[in-house]
Structure 1
Amino acid sequence: MNFTYRNKNKPTNILSFPCNQFIKRNHKLLGDLVLCKKIIEKESLKYDKLLESHWAHITIHGTLHLLGYDHQNNQETDIMEKIENKIMLSLNYKQPHILKNY
C-alpha cells in the first residue's frame, strides 16, 4: 500500500487518507487510517516501548496527518512532535519524542 499510494517501496506503520468532508450537519469525516499491526508490534519491541503506548502514539500520529500536520522539514517535525507529546501525556502515556533544539 505504501508503494501504491506514496510511491515508497518499503512498509510503513500507518497510512493516512484524508477525506475532509461533512457527512451530516456538524459531523466532519477526516478520512481513513490504515495501521499495520505487524510493523507496530515490531517497532514496539525494537524501541522498547509498551505496545499499547505505541499503538496510541501511531494512531495519534496518523490522525494529526488527517488534520493537516506533516513532518517534511525540521519546523513541521517539531510542531508535530510537540503535539504528539502533549496528547500522549494527557492520556497518561510517556511522551514519545525527546524534542530537539536546532
Structure 2
Amino acid sequence: MKNIIINIQYCCKNNKNIPKKLYFKKWIQKILCKKKNINIITIRIVDEWEIKKLNFNYRKKNKPTNILSFPFNKFIKINYKLLGDLVLCKNIIEKESLKYNKSLESHWAHITIHGTLHLLGYDHQNNKEADIMERLENKIMLSLNYKKPHILKSF
C-alpha cells in the first residue's frame, strides 16, 4: 500500500462505527494498485448538515447525500499526485446500509470505491456511463470478498 497516502478528517459528532484507516486504504488500493504514482486522497467524514451544505453549494441539490467527490488530479511534486477529496456522510451511509440490508462495512467499502472512481473520472450521467461504472464497482467489490452492490441492467 505504498502508493497511497490517505488523510482522514473526522468531522461528525459520533465517530462510532467508522472504518479504520487501514480499511479505506485497502479499498482504495484495489482501484489504484496499478498506478505508479504516490496518490494522495483526503477523506472527510461528516454529518448530514455539512454534506447537505456542500451538495447545495457545488451541485445545487438541497439535500444530503452519501458521498461527494472533488477531483483534483494534479501532481504536487514528481510522482506525487493529489487525486482529490472524498466527503462521506456517516449517517446517510448507516441509514442506507439498513435500508438496503447491506453490512455496514460492505456499504462503506462500496461508497468509498464509488467516490474514488469519480476522482479518476468515471461518472454515471447516462446509462452507458452508469453501466461501465457499476460493472467496475461490482468487480472491485467481488475482489474484496463483498457482494456485488449492483444488479446490472441490459440497455
| Aligned counterpart, 2:17 | none
| Aligned counterpart, 1:91 | 144
| Aligned counterpart, 1:59 | 112
Identify the range of structure 1 (66-75 vs 16-25) with the bigger mean alpha-carbon deviation: 16-25
Q: Deviation digits for residues 36-92 of structure 1, max 9, x if unmatched?
A: 000000000000000000000000000000000000000000000000001001111
Structure 1 regions of 5+ residues with no counterpart?
Answer: none
Structure 2 regions of 5+ residues with no counterpart?
Answer: 1-53
Please say if 1:37 is aligned against 2:90.
yes
Question: Offset of 1:24 from its aligned partner?
Answer: 2.5
Number of matched residues?
A: 102
Paired amino acid for 2:81: K
Q: Distance in 1 between matches of 2:135 and 2:82?
A: 24
Question: Offset of 1:27 from its aligned partner?
Answer: 1.7
For residue 23 of structure 1, the aligned residue among 76, 81, 85 is 76
Question: Offset of 1:15 from its aligned partner?
Answer: 0.4
- SS of 1:4 mapped into structure 2: helix
Q: Distance in 2 between matches of 1:28 and 1:92?
A: 28
| Aligned counterpart, 1:71 | 124
Deviation >3 Å, runs of 4+: none
Please say if 1:2 is aligned against 2:47.
no
Higher-strand-fraction structure: 2
